[in-house]
Amino acid sequence: QTNHGATGIETVLLFSRPQHSFISSRYIRQFVDYTGEIVTPMVSSPVLKALIAKQDIAKQKLGAK
d(CA 4, CA 10): 9
Q: How far is CA 9 from CA 6, 12, 13, 14, 41, in A?
A: 6, 10, 13, 16, 37
* Band of residue 4 on the pLDDT scale cut at 50, 70, 90: low
Query: Could you report the per-residue pLDDT of 9-64, keeping only the tens digit for each?
Result: 777 888 888 777 778 888 888 888 888 887 777 788 898 898 888 888 888 888 86
Look at residue 14 in the predicted model and tell me its pLDDT. 86
pTM of the full structure: 0.54
Look at residue 21 in the predicted model and tell me its pLDDT. 78
